[in-house]
Structure 1
Amino acid sequence: MVHGSPRRVNEYLFEDRGHRSLSRALEGAHADILCFGHTHKPFYKVVSSEAPGEERYWRHAVNIGSVGKPKDGDPRACYTILAIDETARPGAKQGINVEHIRVAYDVEAATVAVEQSDLPNVYADSLRTAQ
């Protein structure tokens, strides 16, 4: 588990990152499953090593989303359930299940609370727009 990436706390791992690049990041961290955030945009990707002459080794990249301050256009809170069943094996594709759960909450009450606090109003605006 990391905030941004295994390399840097402030590195963004977006969903559109190429499979090879994402695979290298997981491999460099010696991670079969990597849970991360920072982008506030949930996604799940299974990537593999592509070394010639080697058996494919699968790795799982899980962006867990954001309970607050979403940036994917969906204002609901998001949390992730990661389930690893008895068939899961290192380097295997199967046995891992990732589910992103969305929960509605009173976004307007949260934005009003931000506006009434010492926080900049830009944070309230980002809650309203989910951007």
Structure 2
Amino acid sequence: MSKIVLFSDIHANLPALEAFFEDVETRKPDFIYCLGDLVGYNIWANEVVDEISKRNIPTIAGNYDFGIGRESNDCGCAYKTEQEKANGAVSISFTNEIIQPAQRQYLRSLPAHIKVEYQLNDDKLNLLLVHGSPRKINEYLFEDRDEKSMLRIMKDADADIMCFGHTHKPYHRILDSGEEGKPHYRHAINIGSVGKPKDGDNRGGYVLLTIDENSSVLDKNSIQVEFIRFKYDYEKAARAIEECILPNDYAENLRKGC
């Protein structure tokens, strides 16, 4: 049996990351993976990178990491309003200012995807870890994505279990691609956000995925997905924003989980 912790979208929120690691210690996972967006929107960009890199956690690049790693002023974010766009410009400029050379180099070196292939019984089970989607680092895969579209994305990527972040809104969808006259269940799992949740719950979130010797694409219930929420000192994170040049909107977002 493999107990796999998956986390993402810390966004320079060190209090949330520290609380996450405390919670994870109680779960005793076999493996832990980070799906990116370590930086942006708060003050602890370097500290967050250091906490993850010193643990040698396999990590992929998020769109924000990709931008900061290349000293870009574009984080690849889809802002809906002019105010959000203006706030975003402040955030990426601030992050580019505070990031140190070693931490920037770490972000630049991160891979785009991680693929883990399991050989179970007569089955092959492919676990694919991406930030946005297999096609694009900043593609948003929301829960209401058309089923045919989601299946096409997963089939093209040869993913039986696809885990991703980027939207900061956790969900688990089980889709049947029904190949060769028998079921083929695929799992699309958004793992939520450790440091910037957007689902109305201000607690941090991550996923515990369990795969065992009986896990199979033929049995939709043979993959266990647990969404875990943990409390952290969001007021400390919010005050840090209010005490620097970052927009106060980001502090309110942390308080409200939006």
Query: Is contact 1:84-1:97 (8 Å) kept?
Result: yes
Q: 2:88 aligns to what?
A: none
Residue pairs, 1:1-131, within 5 angstroms = 1-50=129-178, 54-131=181-258
Which whole-Å CA distance do the structure 1 matches of 2:142 and 2:185 have between them?
Answer: 19
TM-score, scaled relative to structure 2: 0.48
Supply the AA of the counterpart residue of 2:231. Answer: A
Which whole-Å CA distance do the structure 1 matches of 2:181 and 2:247 have between them?
Answer: 52
Q: Of Structure 1 and Structure 2, which has the larger fraction of its residues in helix?
A: 2
User: Deviation of residue 45 (structure 1)?
Assistant: 0.9
Deviating beyond 4 angstroms after TM superposition, the runs of 4 or more aligned structure 1 residues are none
Which whole-Å CA distance do the structure 1 matches of 2:148 and 2:181 have between them?
Answer: 15
Q: Which one scores higher on RCO, CA 8 angstroms, separation ≥ 6? A: 2
Which whole-Å CA distance do the structure 2 matches of 1:97 and 1:117 have between them?
Answer: 42
Supply the AA of the counterpart residue of 1:110. Answer: A
Please identify the structure whose Cα radius of gyration is greater: 2
Query: Is contact 2:242-2:248 (8 Å) kept?
Result: yes
User: Deviation of residue 50 (structure 1)?
Assistant: 4.6
User: Deviation of residue 33 (structure 1)?
Assistant: 0.5
Which deviations, in whole Å up to 9, do the C-alpha atoms of 1:36-68 show, x marking residues without a partner?
0000001111101156x6322110111000001
Which deviations, in whole Å up to 9, do the C-alpha atoms of 1:80-119 show, x marking residues without a partner?
1000121112454232000010101121121001111332
Supply the AA of the counterpart residue of 1:113. Answer: A
5+ residue gaps in structure 1?
Answer: none
Q: Matched residue pairs, number?
A: 130
5+ residue gaps in structure 2?
Answer: 1-128
Query: Is contact 1:19-1:48 (8 Å) kept?
Result: no
User: Deviation of residue 75 (structure 1)?
Assistant: 0.2
Supply the AA of the counterpart residue of 1:19. Answer: E
